[in-house]
Amino acid sequence: MDSIGRYRLVRRLGAGSFATVWLGHDDDLDVPVAVKVLADNWASNNDVRNRFLAEARIMRRIHDRRLVQVHDIGTLDDGRPYFVMDYVDGGSMNDLRRQGIPPVRALQLCAEACRALDVLHDHDIIHRDVTPGNLLLSRSASGGAQVLIADLGVAKSMLDAVGATMTAGTPSYMAPEQAMGVTPLDRRVDIYSLAAVTYAMLTGHPPFLVRSIADILARDPSQPPEPIAERLGAPSTLDGVMISGLAADRNRRPPTALLLAEGLETIASQMEVSDAASQRGNGRVDPQPPRAAPAGASETTLSELSAIPYPAPVGPPAFQTSPQPMASSYFSSGTSYPTSQLTSPAEAIAQARPVSYYILLGVSALALFAISMFLTILVLR
């Protein structure tokens, strides 16, 4: 195709299972645009077609600079729907993940992604497929980059998610309860994905090696992600944040994307302060002062995290976890996430062990005792 509606097509930007995205140009307004077209083989599938149109409606309804905006919608001659969006020219966070970026910058961008996703959550929408590829970067005039949320093809309102029957998402970044098809889903599935994205941006790979839904279900839910703070030169608090954000029990995760953003921003600020002190100690002058915490950040949360020495002399505190031990399933229906205390990663790991672990430990101890008694009796005889 040379054009779609009044939009002249320049080149194909990418294609997925359900749609193709083209770089177009609006000659009337003289601006570049992105045009998303439903794939041929799904045009007659009403469920896919409805989800495609629902994506456009969600993006059109929420007017926010952190979300890719939809400007037009239409239908091709062959009946396939399409919609026209902003063209975001900075690539995606997945491009940066592959190239590798400094940890401080990765944390800052991931915090921006958290704040962008919080906009969706404020409108009672859960994304359900947060990946580095779905977080786009828009270049600013000053040379910086802003993170925008894209690809809401499987997004759901929190009300609709109660009756969702299809498991959708990317396994490497998918929360356990989402993989199991448990409903109702809530914003904590996106918070898990955001934590997984942060881990991937810092290390170059997702926190757990899973390629399918079956891999997620087979993974030991008590196994925490590999610690990364020490090798990144980050405060040990980072490992606690990762353990909490990637907890199999959703009650142990931060309750909001905003809280996760504040934690990541605090760690990034601590690293900048440490780097500046190191440079001064080496006789080098830091050309830019470390960034201050954002104005909208929670003073209580930031002060609690900032009070931790850098690097912390003891195990890093994580986000608050539920006081009850984790059940044998991936998640718990217990009390919601409290915020009155902090928990170290070691405690979080211990609390995350399933009940079966302690039963097996007790049975093993009894068996060992019985064998020792039997051998003692034999020797005495």
**CA angle, 139 as apex, 135 and 142 as ends, to 5°?**
140
* Residues catalogued as catalytic: 129
Distance from C-alpha of 51 to C-alpha of 152, rounded to nearest angstrom: 9
SS (H, E, C) the chain: CCEECCEEEEEEEEECCCEEEEEEEECCCCEEEEEEEECHHHCCCHHHHHHHHHHHHHHHHCCCCCECCEEEEEECCCCCEEEEEECCCCCEHHHHHHHCCCHHHHHHHHHHHHHHHHHHHHCCEECCCCCHHHEEEEECCCCCEEEEECCCCCCEECCHHHHCCCCCCCHHHCCHHHHCCCCCCCCHHHHHHHHHHHHHHHHCCCCCCCCCHHHHHHCCCCCCCCCCHHHHCCCCHHHHHHHHHCCCCHHHCCCCHHHHHHHHHHHHHHHHHHHHHHHHHCCCCCCCCCCCCCCCCCHHHHHHHHCCCCCCCCCCCECCCCCCCCCCCCCCCCCCCCCCCCECHHHHHHHCCCHHHHHHHHHHHHHHHHHHHHHHHHHHC
Distance from C-alpha of 297 to C-alpha of 256, rounded to nearest angstrom: 13
| Interaxial angle between packed helices 103-122 and 188-203, expressed in degrees from 0 to 180 and rounded to the nearest 10 | 160
